[in-house]
């Protein structure tokens, strides 16, 4: 129908973007499409470990090192999808080395607006910006209006809109394990190594919630080791239970027991974990900056908040905690309902339509 | 330790040094950590500690923890010192002698420092040079320099609202000006958007400066004035003689005449401007200027630390063209900017759900109130849809505030508003009411009819003894639904036509709409929230206490406010609350006095006469059926 398909993903795995590619490749495989992922040699071991539980993907990975090896790989496929901004120039350079007839069609799955990952003026920043500036060679697609509009506005590249997906075989609700007492379980992810994920704010707010709401809540964090917290000068109160680094199955298990999930990142292009929390039956409070309005219906299935204001975040948490049980239950169900719309099949179909139209 | 800087070095556990640092009126402090006099790192004091909050130090978010790099510890006694960065002042408890585990790895060069959230550090050079004369740097913003090649200016904010009442929109600090030569003089002009509403009382101008570098402190002057034909005419200014290093917040009081003068000049075709006049050798960044109603604005202090955490995001967010945030509820201040009483009435509307009624009520206030007022909505733990609707209805109107909180009951909600109110008269208005044209003017007229009057209330369709045309029906208190072809305003008009205001004195007033002079609260205190937490009875208790203190209570018999009648509780719960309240009141004031109230109200001649007249007028007008 569309020929073979290769995703170039030079990353170590575990991130929302990598998860997304992996589950969509699984979806394509299930549809009978020959789809593979290529990881650069540096990240290969880490990536293989991260997705060891998905043998159909993990056992079929390609690895590449340098332009020649990448060119050789590109020539074997009909369609190639780039997924990381900083790698786009290298992929295009490798593609240009091929003869016209052996060049695959190039697509760019823009999962974030990556200039926001680097200081202005740095080589990485320039590379990230350049990745959007090959309109004649590649076609872009993205899963939120925010990404499409931001790229279009700043670089003139037309980006097609596709659907996002979450892995419902991992992220699913189990309402019978939700606590029946009045204690509200609040969970957040802390990633000290990524400032845009606002680890200091998250730590500060979780400590405040534990202190100010006391016995009304049970506060949980995950996403890094205790040592990583220490190195970043972060300290969680004794009342906060820190679960360390978790696999995605463990994350899902924690989210299933969660009532309120906080993602206090400065911005989120999509905010996958927020949606995964919804799929597990938790209500998210997420940053209002970026593309979270893709799935948040304010007050109905979650809350988008101006994360720059601690007091605003706490007011939203208090507001949720003071809701009657019946209203909270209705929000859990709305959240599950919203997340249910993000299936792998629907996402794959929307991406296929880009390939067919390209 | 200077007056403004506070802090303490609390502990060192072998690898991690902990403490806190706080400076009044400034953002999160940065603490420099030294070992044997050598800088080993920098910690941001932005973390929460309950003990600091309980000790009333900032809001508790000024703790720091810092892991000393392994290579810096020798295994021998060393001097550990923690100092306020910029001010270079030792924290209390510092320095201390420490022994850490010996280094196990060869020491790498110290190149990284823990700076993660320095609010202004994101503004990097994308600057244009500043040349002699006028340099336009953005629409409505220009610089005037005293000589050529004086320095550079960076502008990172696409919208700079010189009259910014709302914190929303102030996404990043806006301007950085560098003049690395001695004797530089730069004047920064920004067009000022004057508000189109009446501002009563003084204003406070608040802005932040981040001064970098170690040169002699420059001088910064903030002023307001007008520009016409290229000439600036100053109206008001204040000078900061020495701008210290680091981030600092400045506030200046501006008397109302300044704004008045600017408005007059504006109508005379002169362009109002804000001016920052900077002299010396400098490298400073200026935040957006906030002009806020009132003498002080302590709640604004937090805004200086309200920022993106990642400096990369802060640096670029606005530039990528999506400065607006999505559909979240905007943060609103819950404190008025004023610490004195303003000569304006303050309307207090406690809300608990019932979105439609609340919106009807707010809309009627906005459209039917013809004099300046302040509005306080107390959201007593409503569901998010109601909260969102209130925020949307109120928008960014600076004369309105919303107090939010958990559901604590009607009486607690109104007391919360009364305690933080600043209006000269407090008008407590139920959220299931619809006010009519001229209602507030009428209530104030009644309240001011005599110096002894402390409380006044209007007539209504459903307000017990203040109901017209019927007080009671076979079900109890009458609700007097409006005829199908009549609106609350029609009723108010009928009333105005037939009423000859007598402002009859009564022993109690219904609490659905109650205007109270501020001095009454000063004398007898607020409503009794312990005895009547959910409402019902609190207004009778308050009225009786006011009467005992010598105040009179009068009905504004030319004012009509429509009352949907109690949406918050079901009939059964209402009856139970009412019975309980009656028991408390009887116990407090005696059965004789309580029974006497009804008799007095029944015999109130002017009200009885008015009821007959209104009834007759309605019949004459030929109103049909009930709604």
**H or E stretch at B620:** helix B605-621
Closest residue of B to A307, CA-based? B308
Closest-CA residue to B577 (of B527, B535, B517): B535
Can you give the pLDDT at residue B423? 81
Same domain, A151 and A182: no
Query: Regarding predicted confidence, which is higher, B199 or B142?
Result: B142
Decide if B47 and A315 are in contact by the 8 Å CB cutoff: no
Q: In chain A, which residues have their Cβ closer than 8 Å to the Cβ of B43?
A: 233
- Contact of B348 with B422, CB cutoff 8 Å: no
Cross-chain CB nearest to B46 (options A204, A296, A300): A204
Does A200 reside within a domain?
yes
Same domain, A37 and A122: yes
As a residue count, chain A comes to 358
Q: In chain A, which residues have their Cβ closer than 8 Å to the Cβ of B168?
A: 306
Number of domains, chain A: 2
Distance from CA of B315 to the nearest CA of A (A): 8
Rounded to an integer, the average pLDDT of A254-276 is: 95
Closest-CA residue to A296 (of A329, A337, A335): A335
Contacts of B620 (CB under 8 A, 6+ apart): none
Q: Are strands B231-240 and B552-560 parallel, antiparallel or unpaired?
A: unpaired
Decide if B47 and A200 are in contact by the 8 Å CB cutoff: yes
Q: B41-45, B168-172, B324-328: which has the minimum mean pLDDT? A: B168-172
What percentage of residues in chain B have a pLDDT greater than 70?
Answer: 79
CA distance B459 to B452: 21
Closest-CA residue to B180 (of B130, B135, B222): B130
Does A317 reside within a domain?
yes
What percentage of residues in chain B have a pLDDT greater than 90?
Answer: 19
Q: In chain A, which residues have their Cβ closer than 8 Å to the Cβ of B392?
A: none
Is a pLDDT exceeding 70 seen at residue B108? no
| Three-state SS at B422 | coil
Same domain, A156 and A181: no
- Contact of B218 with B279, CB cutoff 8 Å: yes
- The token duo for A3 is 């020929």
Decide if B321 and A120 are in contact by the 8 Å CB cutoff: no
Cross-chain CB nearest to B67 (options A201, A230, A312): A230
- The token duo for B247 is 């981030």
Q: Which of B65, B309, B380 to mutate to test the interface with A (most CBs of A within 10 A)?
A: B309
Rounded to an integer, the average pLDDT of B577-602 is: 85
Distance from CA of A343 to the nearest CA of B (A): 24
Can you give the pLDDT at residue B301? 38
Same domain, A196 and A272: yes
Is a pLDDT exceeding 60 seen at residue B3? no
Is a pLDDT exceeding 70 seen at residue B567? no
Does A323 reside within a domain?
yes
Q: Which of B47, B127, B288, B307 to mutate to test the interface with A (most CBs of A within 10 A)?
A: B47
Cross-chain CB nearest to B44 (options A200, A208, A316): A200
Distance from CA of A339 to the nearest CA of B (A): 19
- Contact of A264 with A307, CB cutoff 8 Å: yes
Is a pLDDT exceeding 80 seen at residue B614? yes
Q: In chain A, which residues have their Cβ closer than 8 Å to the Cβ of B154?
A: none
Decide if B312 and A118 are in contact by the 8 Å CB cutoff: yes
Closest residue of A to B123, CA-based? A120
CA distance B370 to B360: 17
Q: How many CA atoms lie within 13 A of A331 on its CB side?
A: 29
Average pLDDT, chain B: 77
> How confident is residue B521, by pLDDT bands cut at 50, 70 and 90?
confident
Same domain, A266 and A215: yes
Decide if B383 and A327 are in contact by the 8 Å CB cutoff: yes
- Cα dihedral across residues B221, B223, B227, B231: positive or negative: negative
Q: Which of B384, B386, B403, B406 to mutate to test the interface with A (most CBs of A within 10 A)?
A: B384
Is a pLDDT exceeding 70 seen at residue B113? no
Does A64 reside within a domain?
yes
Closest-CA residue to B508 (of B611, B412, B614, B604): B604
Decide if B329 and A298 are in contact by the 8 Å CB cutoff: yes
Cross-chain CB nearest to A319 (options B312, B313, B384): B384
| Three-state SS at A218 | strand
CA angle A206, A207, A208 (to 5 degrees): 90
A122-147 in b/e form (b: 16+ CB < 10 A) is eeebebbbbbbebeeebbbbbbbebb
- Contact of B70 with B103, CB cutoff 8 Å: yes
pTM higher than 0.95, yes or no?
Answer: no
Decide if A309 and B306 are in contact by the 8 Å CB cutoff: yes
CA distance B175 to B120: 10
Q: How many CB pairs under 8 A join A and B?
A: 168
Is a pLDDT exceeding 90 seen at residue B33? yes
Can you give the pLDDT at residue B166? 29
Rounded to an integer, the average pLDDT of B346-366 is: 92
For the ranges A215-219, B249-253, B421-425, B598-602, the one whose mean pLDDT is highest: A215-219
- Contact of A297 with A338, CB cutoff 8 Å: yes
CA distance A80 to A105: 6
CA distance B252 to B206: 7
Contacts of B604 (CB under 8 A, 6+ apart): B465, B504, B506
Rounded to an integer, the average pLDDT of A100-110 is: 94
| Three-state SS at B296 | coil
**Residue pLDDT, tens place only, A117-148:** 998 888 889 889 989 988 778 899 999 999 99
**Residue pLDDT, tens place only, B146-171:** 776 677 776 553 333 333 332 222 22
Query: Regarding predicted confidence, which is higher, B304 or A238?
Result: A238
Same domain, A310 and A351: no
Q: Which domains does chain B have, with CATH numbers?
A: 5-98 (2.60.40), 128-316 (2.60.120), 342-621 (3.90.550.10)
CATH number at residue A297: 3.40.50.2000
Can you give the pLDDT at residue B145? 82
For the ranges A233-247, B11-25, B235-249, the one whose mean pLDDT is highest: A233-247
Decide if A153 and B320 are in contact by the 8 Å CB cutoff: yes
Is a pLDDT exceeding 90 seen at residue B512? yes
Helix crossing, A325-340 with A272-279: angle to 10°? 110
CB atoms within 10 A of CB A275: 28
CA distance A247 to A251: 6
Cross-chain CB nearest to A308 (options B306, B320, B388): B306
Contacts of B589 (CB under 8 A, 6+ apart): B544
Q: In chain A, which residues have their Cβ closer than 8 Å to the Cβ of B117?
A: 200
**Residue pLDDT, tens place only, A49-70:** 888 878 888 888 999 998 999 9
> How confident is residue B295, by pLDDT bands cut at 50, 70 and 90?
low
Rounded to an integer, the average pLDDT of B57-63 is: 84
Same domain, A140 and A191: no
CA distance B201 to B342: 7
As a residue count, chain B comes to 627
For the ranges B35-49, B317-331, B578-592, the one whose mean pLDDT is highest: B35-49
Query: Regarding predicted confidence, which is higher, B264 or A343?
Result: A343
Distance from CA of A169 to the nearest CA of B (A): 30
Same domain, A115 and A256: no
CA distance B435 to B347: 12
Does A81 reside within a domain?
yes
Can you give the pLDDT at residue B105? 42
Same domain, A191 and A99: no
> How confident is residue B111, by pLDDT bands cut at 50, 70 and 90?
very low
Is a pLDDT exceeding 70 seen at residue B626? no
Distance from CA of A148 to the nearest CA of B (A): 12
Does A170 reside within a domain?
no
Decide if B64 and A266 are in contact by the 8 Å CB cutoff: no
**Residue pLDDT, tens place only, A159-207:** 999 999 988 989 999 887 766 667 999 999 999 999 999 999 999 999 9
Q: In chain A, which residues have their Cβ closer than 8 Å to the Cβ of B385?
A: 299-300
Closest residue of B to A237, CA-based? B49
Same domain, A101 and A247: no
Decide if B65 and A234 are in contact by the 8 Å CB cutoff: yes
Does A90 reside within a domain?
yes
**H or E stretch at B510:** none
- The token duo for B271 is 């362009």
Q: In chain B, which residues have their Cβ closer than 8 Å to the Cβ of A233?
A: 16, 43-44, 47, 64-67, 114
Closest residue of B to A206, CA-based? B48
Closest residue of A to B386, CA-based? A299
> How confident is residue A209, by pLDDT bands cut at 50, 70 and 90?
very high
Can you give the pLDDT at residue B201? 60
Query: Regarding predicted confidence, which is higher, A350 or A15?
Result: A350
Q: In chain A, which residues have their Cβ closer than 8 Å to the Cβ of B82?
A: none
Closest residue of B to A118, CA-based? B312
Closest residue of B to A117, CA-based? B312
Can you give the pLDDT at residue A96? 93
Q: Which of A208, A233, A315 to mutate to test the interface with B (most CBs of B within 10 A)?
A: A233
Q: Which of B31, B41, B322 to mutate to test the interface with A (most CBs of A within 10 A)?
A: B322
DSSP-H helix ranges across A88-144: 88-96, 123-130
Rounded to an integer, the average pLDDT of B87-106 is: 74
Contacts of A350 (CB under 8 A, 6+ apart): A161, A162, A163
- Contact of A97 with A71, CB cutoff 8 Å: yes
Calculate the CA dihedral of residues A124, A126, A131, A136 and round it to 10 degrees: -160
**Residue pLDDT, tens place only, B385-408:** 898 899 888 876 767 888 887 788
Is a pLDDT exceeding 70 seen at residue A229? yes
Owning domain of residue A235: 175-340
What would the DSSP string read from start to end of B111-177?
Answer: -----S--TTTT----PEEE-SEEEEEETTEEEEESSTT-EEEEE--S---SSB--STT--S--EEE
Can you give the pLDDT at residue A199? 96
| Three-state SS at B7 | strand
Q: How far is CA B152 from CA A268, B181, B287, B315, B390, in A?
A: 34, 11, 17, 18, 45
What percentage of residues in chain A have a pLDDT greater than 70?
Answer: 99
Query: Regarding predicted confidence, which is higher, B114 or A32?
Result: A32
For the ranges B156-170, B181-195, B293-307, the one whose mean pLDDT is highest: B181-195
Decide if A203 and B47 are in contact by the 8 Å CB cutoff: yes
> How confident is residue B297, by pLDDT bands cut at 50, 70 and 90?
very low
For the ranges A290-294, B205-209, B584-588, the one whose mean pLDDT is highest: A290-294
Decide if B404 and A315 are in contact by the 8 Å CB cutoff: yes
Can you give the pLDDT at residue B460? 94
Same domain, A197 and A222: yes
Does A140 reside within a domain?
yes
Q: Are strands B128-130 and B151-155 parallel, antiparallel or unpaired?
A: antiparallel
Is a pLDDT exceeding 50 seen at residue B333? no
- Contact of B288 with B207, CB cutoff 8 Å: yes
Decide if B309 and A198 are in contact by the 8 Å CB cutoff: yes
> How confident is residue B515, by pLDDT bands cut at 50, 70 and 90?
very high
Same domain, A119 and A36: yes
Residue written as token pair 């059965």? B591
Q: B15-24, B346-355, B364-373, B521-530: which has the minimum mean pLDDT? A: B521-530
């Amino acid at each position: 129908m569309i020929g073979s398909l290769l995703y170039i993903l030079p990353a170590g795995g575990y991130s929302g973007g990598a998860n997304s590619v992996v589950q969509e490749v699984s979806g394509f495989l299930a549809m009978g499409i020959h789809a593979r992922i290529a990881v650069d040699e540096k990240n290969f071991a880490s990536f293989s470990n991260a997705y060891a539980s998905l043998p159909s993907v993990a056992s079929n990975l390609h690895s590449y090192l340098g332009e020649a090896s990448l060119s050789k790989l590109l020539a074997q496929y009909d369609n190639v999808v780039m997924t990381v901004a900083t790698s786009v120039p290298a992929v295009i350079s490798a593609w240009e080395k091929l003869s016209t007839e052996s060049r695959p069609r190039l697509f760019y799955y823009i999962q974030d607006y990556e200039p926001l990952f680097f200081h202005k003026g740095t080589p990485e920043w320039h590379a990230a910006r350049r990745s959007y500036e090959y309109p004649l060679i590649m076609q872009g697609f993205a899963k939120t209006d925010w990404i499409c509009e931001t790229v279009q506005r700043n670089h003139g590249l037309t980006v097609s809109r596709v659907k996002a997906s979450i892995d419902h075989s991992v992220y699913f609700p189990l309402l019978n394990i939700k606590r029946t007492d009045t204690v509200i379980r609040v969970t957040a992810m802390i990633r000290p190594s990524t400032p845009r994920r606002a680890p200091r704010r998250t730590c500060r707010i979780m400590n405040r919630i534990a202190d100010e709401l006391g016995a009304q809540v049970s506060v949980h964090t995950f996403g890094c080791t205790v040592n990583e917290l220490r190195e970043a000068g972060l300290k969680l109160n004794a009342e906060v239970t820190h679960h360390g680094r978790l696999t995605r199955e463990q994350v899902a298990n924690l989210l299933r027991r969660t009532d309120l999930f906080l993602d206090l990142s400065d911005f989120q292009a999509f905010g996958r974990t927020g949606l995964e929390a919804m799929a597990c039956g938790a209500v998210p409070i997420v940053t209002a900056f970026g593309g979270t309005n893709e799935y948040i219906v304010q007050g109905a299935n979650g809350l988008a908040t101006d994360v720059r204001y601690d007091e605003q975040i706490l007011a939203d948490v208090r507001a949720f905690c003071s809701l009657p049980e019946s209203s909270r239950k209705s929000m859990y169900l709305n959240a599950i309902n919203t997340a249910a719309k993000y299936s792998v099949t629907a996402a794959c179909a929307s991406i296929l339509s880009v390939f067919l139209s390209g | 330790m200077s007056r403004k800087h506070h802090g303490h070095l609390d502990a060192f556990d072998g690898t991690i040094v902990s403490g806190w640092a706080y400076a009044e009126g400034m953002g999160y402090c940065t603490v420099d950590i030294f070992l044997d006099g050598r800088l080993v790192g920098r910690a941001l004091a932005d973390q929460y500690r309950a003990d600091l909050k309980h000790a009333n130090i900032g809001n508790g978010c000024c703790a720091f923890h810092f892991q000393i790099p392994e290579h810096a510890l020798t295994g021998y006694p060393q001097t550990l010192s923690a100092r306020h960065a910029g001010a270079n002042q030792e924290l209390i408890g510092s320095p201390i002698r420490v022994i850490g585990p010996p280094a196990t790895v060869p020491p790498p060069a110290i190149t990284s420092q823990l700076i993660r959230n320095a609010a202004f550090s994101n503004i990097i050079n994308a600057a244009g040079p500043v040349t002699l004369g006028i340099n336009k740097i953005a629409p409505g913003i220009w610089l005037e320099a005293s000589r050529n090649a004086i320095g550079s200016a960076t502008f990172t904010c696409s919208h700079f609202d010189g009259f910014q009442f709302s914190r929303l929109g102030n996404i990043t600090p806006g301007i950085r000006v560098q003049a690395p030569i001695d004797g530089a003089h730069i004047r920064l002009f920004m067009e000022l958007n004057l508000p189109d509403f009446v501002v009563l009382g003084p204003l406070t101008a608040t802005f932040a400066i981040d001064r970098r570098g170690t040169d002699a402190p420059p001088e910064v002057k903030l002023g307001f004035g007008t520009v016409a034909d290229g000439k600036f005419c100053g109206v008001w200014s204040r000078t900061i003689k020495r701008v210290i290093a680091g981030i600092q917040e400045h506030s200046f009081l501006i008397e109302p005449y300044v704004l008045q003068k600017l408005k007059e000049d504006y109508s005379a075709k002169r362009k109002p401007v804000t001016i920052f006049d900077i002299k010396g050798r400098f490298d400073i960044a200026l935040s957006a200027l906030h002009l806020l109603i009132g003498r002080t604005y302590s709640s604004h202090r937090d805004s200086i630390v309200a920022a993106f955490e990642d400096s990369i995001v802060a640096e670029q967010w606005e530039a990528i063209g999506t400065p607006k945030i999505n559909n979240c509820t905007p943060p609103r201040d819950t404190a008025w900017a004023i610490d004195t009483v303003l000569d304006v009435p303050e309307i207090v509307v406690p809300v608990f759900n019932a979105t439609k009624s609340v919106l009807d009520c707010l809309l009627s206030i906005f459209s039917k109130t013809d004099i300046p007022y302040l509005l306080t909505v107390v959201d007593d733990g409503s569901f998010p849809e109601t909260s969102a609707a209130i925020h949307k209805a109120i928008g960014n109107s600076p004369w309105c505030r919303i107090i939010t909180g958990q559901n604590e009951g009607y009486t607690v909600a109104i007391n919360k508003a009364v305690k933080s109110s600043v209006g000269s008269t407090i008008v407590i208005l139920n959220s299931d009411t619809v006010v009519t044209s001229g209602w507030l003017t009428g209530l104030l007229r009644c309240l001011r009819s005599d110096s002894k009057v402390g409380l006044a209330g209007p007539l209504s369709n459903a307000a017990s003894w203040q109901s017209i045309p019927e007080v009671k029906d076979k079900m109890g208190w009458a609700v007097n639904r409006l005829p199908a072809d009549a609106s609350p305003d029609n009723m108010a008009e009928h009333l105005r036509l037939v009423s000859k205001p007598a402002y009859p004195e009564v022993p109690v007033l219904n609490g659905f709409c109650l205007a109270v002079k501020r001095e009454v609260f000063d004398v007898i205190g607020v409503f009794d929230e312990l005895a009547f937490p959910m409402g019902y009875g609190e207004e009778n208790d308050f009225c009786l206490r006011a009467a005992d203190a010598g105040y009179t209570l009068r009905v504004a018999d030319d004012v009509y406010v429509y009352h949907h009648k109690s949406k918050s509780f079901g009939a059964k719960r209402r009856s139970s609350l009412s019975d309980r309240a009656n028991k408390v009141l009887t116990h407090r004031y005696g059965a004789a006095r309580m029974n006497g109230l009804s008799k007095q109200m029944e015999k109130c001649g002017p009200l009885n006469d008015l009821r007959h007249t209104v009834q007759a007028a309605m019949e004459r007008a030929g109103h049909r059926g009930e709604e």
